[in-house]
A = this chain, B = another copy of it.
């Protein structure tokens, strides 16, 4: 392995000088600098991060701890946002997946300690509160897609409530008043937030909620739940007095609603309008007509989380530390105007 000493020897300077060049410290004669750089090039020297970490105890590695996000197709954009933004920093990612298993999570934190990592992204697949029992060892940590309300941990979550509200508002603007809702699994925080927004949105528009038009899309324990959206949407749509628009808990649900409509020979959006949630593009741009849906700002959330963590490590305090990121409606072809 080529070390700083080899470079120093070749350049005819001391190792300390090489270190200064490598780290861009000032006070070096341009001529010396050039000599050193040539030697580095010649020998193909790369700094040894382990040695550096040992000496400085400042690590160039950040930890990414996920429950299932990195291995599940939905929220991968969070990780993408983190990785892309990290490219503009000197940091690299050590990733550990816990499969939502507490023993593995504890092991993950130990791994991070062993590597002396500088900070941690704690990312969850579903928007949720982290259990108050979850321990966050003393490395600086930013929660992404989850929050710890009772503790003051920095976090970035999507504004599901605002998103839900905007969906209803848009539908009402387009002239819809007979609006149904196929829910997410009730156990999810997002289900609660989006659901409340649905009710509040209708109320704000002076529209009365019809209970039989609010149906579950997915039931059972998380990770072991099953779809019922197809059947429920089919029932909704086979009634002679059917809704003109269906709000879906997410895009997967919307896909099932499309299938239910097809099964009944109904057309989207002519016979029924559909709005999704997530903008999971494999679905939203893969189906015909393409889906109007509320986009979850996953990439931006990841990018923001990086900026926050980097700031915290640098000792700069972040402007705001518990961020709710706005969602934006993506208008495509699945909503008809009734005006």
Interface residues of A (CB under 8 A from B): 1, 46-51, 53-54, 57, 61, 64, 70-74, 76-77, 79-80, 83-84, 87, 92-97, 99, 104, 110-111, 113-116, 227, 230, 252, 255-256, 258-263, 265, 280, 282-283, 286-288
Measured CA separation A256–B83 after assembly (Å): 31
A46-B113 in contact (CB<8A): yes
Closest to A72 in B: B76
A-B contact pairs, 12 of them (CB 8 A): A46-B114, A50-B51, A50-B53, A71-B80, A73-B74, A93-B95, A255-B283, A255-B287, A256-B287, A258-B259, A259-B262, A265-B265
Q: This chain: how many copies in the complex?
A: 2
- Return chain B residues, CB-CB under 8 Å to A104: 87
Measured CA separation A252–B1 after assembly (Å): 48
Measured CA separation A77–B71 after assembly (Å): 6
- Return chain B residues, CB-CB under 8 Å to A96: 83, 92-93
Measured CA separation A126–B115 after assembly (Å): 33
Measured CA separation A100–B114 after assembly (Å): 31
B70-A76 in contact (CB<8A): yes
- Return chain B residues, CB-CB under 8 Å to A265: 265
A286-B113 in contact (CB<8A): no
Measured CA separation A259–B283 after assembly (Å): 12
A256-B97 in contact (CB<8A): no
Given A97-B83, A99-B84, also A286-B114 (CB < 8 A): no
B48-A70 in contact (CB<8A): no
Measured CA separation A61–B252 after assembly (Å): 37
Give the interface centre of A50, A227, A259, A261 by most chain B CB atoms within 10 Å. Answer: A50
Closest to A59 in B: B50
B92-A115 in contact (CB<8A): yes
- Return chain B residues, CB-CB under 8 Å to A87: 104
B50-A115 in contact (CB<8A): yes
A70-B83 in contact (CB<8A): yes
A95-B71 in contact (CB<8A): no
Measured CA separation A1–B71 after assembly (Å): 33
- Return chain B residues, CB-CB under 8 Å to A258: 259, 262
- Return chain B residues, CB-CB under 8 Å to A48: 54, 114, 116
